[in-house]
Structures are given as C-alpha cells and as structure tokens.
Structure 1
Amino acid sequence: MSAHLDQIRDQQRETWDRFSAGWKKWDALVLGWLAPFGQAMIRQAAIEDGDQVLDVAAGTGEPGLTVAALIPNGRVTVTDLSERMLQVASENARNRGLTNFETKICDAGALPFPDAAFDAVLCRFGFMFFPDVAAAAEQLRRVAKPGAHVCAAVWSSPEKNTWATTIMATIARNVELPKPPVGAPGLFRCAPEGMMTAVFADAGLHDVREEEITTTMVHDSPEDYWAFMTEIAAPVVAGLGQADIATRERIKAEVLDLARQSMRAGKVELRSTATVVVGTRQLQ
C-alpha cells in the first residue's frame, strides 16, 4: 500500500476510535435503523447453520452478531480497523450470550486469513471508507470459498438519504468546506450507479447483482437527531468545527427546523437508502 493510502487508513482508524463512544451510546437506535440492510445481505449471502462467516469493517458488530445468533453451529469472525469499536462488538456478543463470535483488528485491504476460508463474506457500509476499494474487493473474494457469496452494502445517492443530507447540506450552506479529492473516502463515494457491480466483477466475482433497500431513520425528537449526528458522524463534527459560535447556532436552528418538517406521528422520520451488491466466487 502506498504512503498516501497508509495515511488514509490511519486517519480512518483514529476517527473510528474517537467516535466509538458515540456509536456505543446510540447502538440500540443504529441496530434497529440498519437492520433491514443487514437482513437483505444475510438473505443474499444464503448463509446456513454451520457456516464460517466473515463480516468485514463491522464496527460494533452488525450484521455479524445477528448472523452468529442464526447459526449456532457455525462461527462468525468480525473485523475492523478500530480496536475500540471491536471492544463494543465483543461486549455486545457477551450480552447476547453468543459464544460463536470473535473479533480481529485488521485492514480490509490485507485480511489476515487464508484463501478460501469462509462460506460467506459480508461488508456493511465499509467500502465507502476503504483507502483502496478494488484491493478490498479482491481480498473479500480471496478469502471466500469457491461457490461462496460475497455481499456488501453501500449508501445510495445523497437525494435518497435525507438522514445524512438534512444536516450535511445545512452545514455546507453555511460553512465553506474544502472540496475532497475525487475518489476520497466518504459517505457517498460508492453511490454511482453500477460502481459496486463493476468493482465486484473486476475483483473476479461472478453472477454479480444489486438490490436497492430503503428504510427510515426514526428519532423521538429533532433534538435527538441533532445529538445523534453530532456524536457519531465525523464529517458533521468536522464541518461544525469550521463554524464560529453564531454560525453553529444558526446551523443547529436550521437543522432542527428541517427535522420538524420530517416529523410523522410525533417522530422524526428520515429516508435511508442503500445498494446491496452480491457476487459469487467461481467454483474451481
């Protein structure tokens, strides 16, 4: 890996370590919010009891924790760059009484597992942040057994994800943010139509297909939405860090107003859409 990609990887590790407390605090909300994407991945990956499953860039443990509960005679290994995020994952596994679950700190671009080791390989919302998307896809294919499915989820376009744009677009309207380099890690980096299909095909996976899944992020109040996004989203915190006190208060007021406009039956409801892509390692 080049020095530049090494730097991106190290920045990602530092960021996820720093925000791990926020992710732990909001874990129950995230669990429910993102569950439909994990369920779609599990279905597409055709996981069966007794399987050895790898979940890459799993953070606090999902969807690997759900998989472990579904396959008591199998085993799930989850990886992440962040030791602190994986500590939360291990705690979650203990709380659920899961003994067929283990964690491994590692880089998705250099997985420390032998070839053809897993019956299914998952990666939910990791590809957008990998320094080298192609290298990560090749690693996921490499560790999958012949005939095994490799499945990932990435966020779709910004207009389909008001959970993020409600606050990020407001920050961008009020603060002059530096334009990220083309292809830099970011929430919507893998959103272009067909991008992940091409990445999987180029990595040597076959029968590649995509499915779009839409769900809703729900908060009890606009204030809860603001607290959530300012405690778990690094780009939000970075953007707000560029604002003076008056500008930050203006941003907050605008975000709360937009969140109020998204309320249904007393709850804030914000659209969340992802693309689930699956491919198969060819039988040898």
Structure 2
Amino acid sequence: MSTVVNRHQSEAWNGYEGRHWADHHDRYDAVNVGFNEPLLAAVRPGDRVLDVGCGNGQLTRLAAGRAAGGHAVGVDLSAPMLDRARSCAAAEGVPNVEFVRGDAQVHPFPADTFDVALSRFGVMFFADPVAAFDNVRRALRPGGRLAFVCLDDVRRGDLGRVLAAALAHLPVPPTVGTAVAEPLSLADPAVVHRVLGEAGFAGVDCAPVEAPQVWGRDAGDAAGFLADWGPIRHQLDRADPDAGPRVRAAMAQALRRHERPDGVRLRGTAWLVTAHRRTT
C-alpha cells in the first residue's frame, strides 16, 4: 500500500466500519444501487476507468462491463472491502478489473491515463479535498471526465427523518456540517465548485438525483441494520446501555410507513457532480 495521509479514515475503514460494509456488501449495495446508472452513463466502450473510494467494488465491476474492451481500477483504503471486491469480481467473472489499496489523495496514479473517474459516495472523506481531486485530475487524460455522487443535506430525503427519530436517544447528534473529512463535506454545491475549480477541473455541474434505497426486509430489520451502521454505532458506543433498544424502537416506528412488500424503501437524495479536466 502507498502512503496514507488520511489516517483517521484508514483506521475506520480498516476497523469496524470497513468490516461491517464488507460483511454486509449486499445490503449496502441494495441501499446505493439506484445511484449506479447516472454514473455509468459517463462510461464508454474502451474507456480506462478509475473508481475512487470503490469500497466493495460493485460500481467498479459494472463500469468494467460498460467499458467493454477497456479496463477499470478501483482504489480504496479499506483492506476488508477490497478483499470483498476481488472475491465478487472473481465470482462474477469480471476479467478487466483491478482493485488497489491506496489513499486516493496521494496515491501515485499513472499520469494522463484514465478516460473517466467515478465515485459512488467515496469522495466525501478526504483530509484535503483540493489535493485529492488534483491528484485524481492528474490521473485523467486531458479532457478526461469526472462523475461522482455525494451526499446532500440528509434532511431532503427520507433517511433524515428516520435519523431524527433516533437523535433524542443519542448523547451527541452526528455531525452534519461541511467540514473536511465528514460525510457531508460536499453537501453544498458552492463548496463542490470551489474545490473542483481549485483542483483544475472545468465544466463543474451539480444536479440533484434521487433513487429508492432498500434498507431491510421490514421496519425491525431495517432499524437493526441502521443501528449497526457506523455513524449510529459510534454514537451508541458513547451512550448508556439502555440507549440501543430505544434507538432501534424509535427508528422502527419511523420506518414503518416505508414498508413495502419488497422491503423498506426510502427515497434517497444526492448530488450528481460532473466535470472534466481542462485540456490546457
């Protein structure tokens, strides 16, 4: 593995957070699969694709299929998730894909190589976002394309109301600002435009996108899964022992209105960000 500067995130994604995502990759993919197609629309046959913060690698593998005759590389800090990505690629028989462990902020990508860089909720955690996107820009060929989805204000989607139901039972509400290395660090389009502009990208556009997200079989199952999700688990670890059942009950109650025959479906919202590397 190359140099890591984002040590806090490396510890998290190689600890509980990364193991939970790897162990429950199918459930997290069910949450985020609806955001794949807007990203894959940027991929063309023969493309060399870079997937930044690829996690368990579903988007990388799909991009490899879309880039028939090309190649896809997924990069992530998390060893558990990369192990899962490689095993899924082998099981699915995807030959033109590679997974690399590295910190995308400083990883020595070959310069002027990739046609398109993608990310599905993997670019919000950089210690220095401008430096990270500048590193990604250098990996793209002149005119190369960038497309990623990032979280917006969680209050726009259904998940915000579910999380709000849990807040009264948690010691400290999860951070919802736009500071560096937070999940909502790119939730403000003005921040996105500034960061990408300083990193050397042009044609920056932020478009709102929505997708259904399946969180569980029923309200109880979804509430249990959410309670084990990293941001909630972090708060529960700091709470009194009785907080867990209260949080689960509160979220289950909020989730019941979203139960459908095929599971608990929430309306997820995000920003679809597109840009390109300047040619000069």
The residue aligned with 1:40 is: 38
**1:227 Cα shift?**
2.7
1:214 alignment partner in structure 2: 210
Give the Cα separation in 2 of the matches to 1:275 and 1:56: 16
Which residue number corresponds to residue 239 of structure 1?
235
> Which of the two has greater helix per residue?
1
Tell me the equivalent position of 1:154. 150
Q: Report the residue type matching 1:170 in the other structure.
A: A
Is 1:224 aligned to 2:233, yes or no?
A: no
* Structure 2 counterpart of 1:79, one-letter code: V
Equivalent position of 1:176 in the other structure: 171
Equivalent runs, 1:127-142 vs 2, <5 Å: 127-142=123-138
Question: 1:184 & 1:147 partners in 2: Cα distance?
Answer: 28
**1:60–1:88 CA contact under 8 A, matched in 2:** yes
For 2:51 and 2:165, the matched residues in 1 are separated by 34
Q: State the 4+ residue runs in structure 1 displaced beyond 6 angstroms.
A: none
- Displacement of 1:31 in angstroms is 2.4
Deviation, 1:193, is 3.2
Q: Does 1:279 align with 2:275?
A: yes
Secondary structure at 2:39 match in 1: helix
Gaps of 5+ in 2: none
Counterparts in 2 of 1:256-275, with a 5 A limit?
Answer: 256-265=252-261, 267-275=263-271
What SS does the aligned partner of 1:127 have? coil
1:121-179 per-residue CA deviation (whole Å, 9 max, x = no partner) reads: 11221222111111111111111101110112101112123335513x33432223178
Q: Which runs of 5+ in 1 are unaligned?
A: none
Give a deviation string over 1:90-123, Cα, whole Å, max 9, x none: 0111011011111111111112112211111112
Aligned partner letter, 2:26: A
Q: Does the residue aligned with 2:124 lie in a helix, a strand or coil?
A: helix
* Displacement of 1:50: 1.6
Q: Please provide the CA RMSD for this pair.
A: 2.1
CA-CA distance at 1:220 after TM superposition: 1.6
C-alpha deviation, 1:184, in angstroms: 4.0
Give the direction of change, closer, same or farther, for the CA distance of 1:92–1:164 in structure 2 (3 Å limit).
farther
Equivalent residue for 1:20?
A: 18
Q: Which amino acid aligns with 1:42?
A: L
Note if 1:29 corresponds to 2:24.
Answer: no
Which position in structure 2 is the counterpart of 1:248? 244
For 1:77 and 1:194, the matched residues in 2 are separated by: 29
Judge conservation of contact 1:115–1:143 (CA < 8 Å) in 2: yes
- Tell whether 2:193 aligns with 1:197: yes
| Offset at residue 230 of structure 1 (A) | 3.1
Does the CA contact (< 8 Å) of 1:171 and 1:240 recur in 2?
A: no
Contact 1:162 1:272 (8 Å CA) reproduced: yes
Q: Give the partner amino acid of 2:88.
A: N
Sort the Cα spacing of 1:94 and 1:140 in 2 relative to 1 into closer, same or farther, 3 A. same
TM-score normalised to the size of structure 1? 0.88
**1:45-81 CA distance string (max 9 Å, x none):** 2x22221111111010031110111223111110001
Per the alignment, do residues 182 and 40 of structure 1 end up closer, same or farther by CA in structure 2, a change over 3 Å counting? closer
Aligned length: 274
In structure 2, how many angstroms separate the alpha carbons of the residues matched to 1:149 and 1:57?
17
Q: TM-score by structure 2 length? A: 0.90
Whether contact under 8 Å (1:160, 1:271) holds in the other structure is: no
Contact 2:167-2:173 at 8 Å conserved across structures: no
Matched, 1:98 2:94: yes
